């Protein structure tokens, strides 16, 4: 996607000019990947502010000798330096001017090293400047998110159809199989450690799988995602083994209604706190407000948890192209809990749903 990376660097250069910065030193590897496509473990990027999209004069990419061949293939459109340490090498090569740096990422000791190398450079804090650009996904990013969500959808369908969810299996066994099946469907790996929570464990929002054995009548909460092209999906489905009790159906219907309200509230220009409130009010009206223990959702992309935060404490408004989760839950301690989660993209009009597994209560 060299064209996409060039467009992203152009957007960053515009931000730099608006802030009267001559260049930006990018050292967060995920941000380097976003701007160049490079996937190695050591790199830095210096983006010059000059409006020269044809040649990007002054912009430099740096990595070490281990990645000589890989960087030539992945970053063919930028001048490269093979050196260590990359941040110092790039700063030393820049010359004079105001250079922004990722102050949210650089350590105090790292700053001291940069300052010693910056003889003619005025180092200027520029925290989360690239993350600001990453808030709104371009269509190449949305395509990667679609593929990640599809891998997770198919893995769950296979797990169920092949009898992987049944009494007698442990949470750990189910989690391992679900992760393996995501890889079978094209994922590089899971987005995070898969949550499998059965019975009373389903009332623990971030329960880690144990040797707990699944039993008939259990609520089973599955929170999982696949990683494709560096992009993460995130989905939660809560199922019942055997016959569902009335209280389980009632709890499920409540969470499903709250989740639908949260999805419906996703639109450009809406305050993130208002999206959280739309779902939370449904749960509060049913008398379970204190059992909804977390925010409604979060951004997702190159990281599993990104801005924006859809929560009571969230800041800002939604913009078309943001990828977010909507995941209300109600947790009854000692009995069980239900969470339903989707990954969606904010669009003009209705949001685009990327996780397509049914949200009807599935009884296995």
CA–CA separation, 34 vs 12, rounded Å?
Answer: 11
Within a 10 A sphere around the Cβ of 265, how many other Cβ atoms? 21
Residue 74 pLDDT: 96
Q: Report the chain's mean pLDDT, rounded to a whole number.
A: 96
CA–CA separation, 189 vs 173, rounded Å?
Answer: 16
Check pLDDT > 90 for residue 117: no
Check pLDDT > 90 for residue 51: no
Cis peptide before 222 (omega within 30 of 0): no
* 227 confidence band (pLDDT: 50, 70, 90): very high
CA–CA separation, 56 vs 23, rounded Å?
Answer: 11
pTM value?
0.95
Check pLDDT > 90 for residue 265: yes
* 55 confidence band (pLDDT: 50, 70, 90): low
Residue 118 pLDDT: 84
Q: What is the pLDDT of residues 281-296, one digit of tens each?
A: 999 999 999 999 999 9
CA–CA separation, 154 vs 183, rounded Å?
Answer: 10
Q: Which distant-in-sequence residues (6+ apart) come within 8 Å of 209 by Cβ?
A: 170, 171, 172, 174, 175, 193, 194, 195, 196, 197
Pair of tokens at residue 2: 């060299």
CA–CA separation, 252 vs 292, rounded Å?
Answer: 13
Check pLDDT > 90 for residue 98: yes
Calculate mean pLDDT across residues 103-116: 93
Residue 52 pLDDT: 65
Check pLDDT > 70 for residue 193: yes
Q: What is the pLDDT of residues 145-192, one digit of tens each?
A: 999 999 999 999 999 999 999 999 999 999 999 999 999 999 999 999
């Amino acid at each position: 996607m060299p064209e996409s990376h060039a467009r992203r660097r152009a957007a960053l250069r515009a931000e730099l000019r608006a802030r009267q910065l001559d260049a930006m030193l990018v050292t967060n590897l995920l941000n380097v990947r976003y701007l160049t496509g490079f996937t190695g473990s050591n790199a830095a990027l210096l983006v010059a502010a000059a409006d020269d999209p044809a040649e990007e004069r002054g912009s430099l990419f740096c990595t070490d000798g281990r990645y000589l061949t890989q960087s030539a293939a992945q970053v063919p459109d930028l001048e490269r330096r093979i050196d260590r340490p990359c941040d110092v090498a790039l700063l030393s090569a820049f010359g004079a001017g105001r250079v922004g740096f990722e102050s949210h990422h650089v350590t105090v000791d790292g700053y001291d090293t940069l300052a010693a190398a910056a003889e003619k450079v005025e180092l200027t804090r520029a925290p989360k400047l690239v993350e600001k650009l990453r808030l709104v996904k371009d269509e190449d990013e949305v395509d990667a998110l679609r593929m990640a969500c599809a891998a997770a959808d198919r893995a769950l369908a296979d797990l169920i159809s092949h009898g992987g969810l049944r009494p007698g299996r442990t949470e750990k066994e189910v989690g391992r199989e679900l992760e393996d099946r995501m890889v079978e469907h094209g994922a590089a790996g899971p987005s995070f450690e898969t949550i499998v929570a059965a019975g009373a464990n389903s009332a623990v929002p971030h329960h880690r799988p144990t040797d707990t054995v699944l039993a008939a009548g259990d609520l089973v909460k599955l929170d999982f995602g696949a990683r494709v092209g560096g992009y993460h999906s995130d989905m939660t489905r809560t199922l019942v083994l055997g016959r569902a009790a009335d209280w389980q159906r009632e709890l499920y219907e409540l969470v499903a209604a709250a989740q639908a309200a949260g999805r419906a509230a996703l639109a450009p220009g809406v305050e993130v706190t208002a999206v959280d409130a739309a779902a939370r009010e449904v749960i509060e009206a049913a008398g379970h407000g204190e059992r909804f223990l977390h925010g409604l959702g979060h951004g997702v992309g190159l990281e599993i948890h990104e801005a924006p935060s859809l929560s009571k404490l969230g800041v800002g408004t939604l913009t078309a192209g943001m990828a977010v989760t909507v995941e209300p839950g109600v947790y009854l301690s000692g009995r069980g809990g239900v969470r339903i989660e989707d990954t969606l993209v904010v669009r003009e009009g209705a949001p685009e749903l990327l996780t397509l597994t049914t949200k009807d209560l599935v009884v296995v």
